[in-house]
Structure 1
Amino acid sequence: MSHTSTILVVEDDAIVRMLIVDVLEELEFTVLEAADAGEALAQVRNTDQIIDLMMTDVGLPDMDGKQLATKVRELRATLPILFASGYAENIDVPAGMQVIGKPFSIDQLRDKVKSML
C-alpha cells in the first residue's frame, strides 16, 4: 500500500480543529495542525514535510483562507486545497480547490478528502 496521505488542517477554533483532526486520524490519515495562516505557511515552507492536501477554514484571524491558499500555491503549485466554510455556496474557488460546507458529517469529510487525493 502507498504511504498514508498527510493532511494539513488549518483552523483557528481549537475545538473544531481537534474534532477534524480526530476524524481524519480515525480515517488513517497523517494530520498536521495549524491554528492560523502563519503556522500553516511555516509547515508548507518546510520542504521536508510531505503534505498531500490542505484543509483550511475560510475565516482565519490573520488572513482569510483564500489568501492563504494563494500563498500556499506559490510554494506548492499542485497542492489540493479544501476550504471549510459556513457559507460554502457563496465561494468561488480556483481549479484544484474545493469547498465543504460547515457543519459537515464525518462521511462528507471522508468522501470529499478521498475524492481530492
Structure 2
Amino acid sequence: MCDVLVVEDQAIVRMVLVDMLEDEGLAVREAATPEDALRFMEGPAGCSVLVTDIDLGVAGMDGFVVAARGRHHTPDLSVLFLSGRPSHFNGRSYSEKERTLIKPFRREELLTAVRALLSH
C-alpha cells in the first residue's frame, strides 16, 4: 500500500507534486488520467491519501468523481483536492478526511495537508 496517490493531468505539475512528497519519505504513486487512478484504486494495493486536481481534462470525470468512486473501494480514503480555480470549492462541504488547496500553493502547505490526512 502506498501513502499517496497523485492524480494530475499536467505532467510537470504531477512531477513536482510527486517529487515534493517523495522528498518527505512518502511512498507515492502517480496517475495522469482519472482512469489510471481508478484502476490503481480498484486494485489490491491502494493508497491512504488521494491528492487530485479537480480539472483532469476529461468530460464528466473530475477530481470529485474520482474521489467518490475511489471511496467505493476504500471507504476511509482521505482526499486532498487541488484547483487553480477557487470557485471549484464553493458550495461544497468537506469532512475531516478532506482538505482543499488552491494553486499555486507552497510546498509546506501541501505537506501539512497531506500529513494531517495521513494522521486520520
Quick check: TM above 0.5? Answer: yes
Residue identity (%): 35
User: What TM-score do you get using the length of structure 1 for normalisation?
Assistant: 0.89
Shift of 1:33: 0.4
Query: Does the Cα contact within 8 Å between 1:88 and 1:99 map onto a contact in 2?
Result: no
Query: Does the Cα contact within 8 Å between 2:63 and 2:81 map onto a contact in 1?
Result: yes
Query: Does the Cα contact within 8 Å between 1:56 and 1:84 map onto a contact in 2?
Result: yes
Q: Which string of whole-angstrom CA distances, capped at 9 and with x for unpartnered residues, describes residues 14-66 of structure 1?
A: 0000000000000110110000110000110111x141100000001221111
Find the residue that maps to 2:70 and give its secondary structure: helix
Distance 1:97 1:37 in 2: 18
Find the residue that maps to 2:80 and give its secondary structure: strand
The 1:90–1:60 alpha-carbon spacing in structure 2 relative to 1, beyond 3 Å, is closer
Partner residue in 1 for 2:48: 52
User: What TM-score do you get using the length of structure 2 for normalisation?
Assistant: 0.87
Query: Does the Cα contact within 8 Å between 1:87 and 1:101 map onto a contact in 2?
Result: yes
* Aligned-residue CA RMSD (Å): 1.6
The residue type paired with residue 4 of structure 2 is: I
The runs of at least 4 consecutive aligned structure 1 residues that moved more than 4 Å come to none
Structure 2 gap segments, 5+ residues each: none
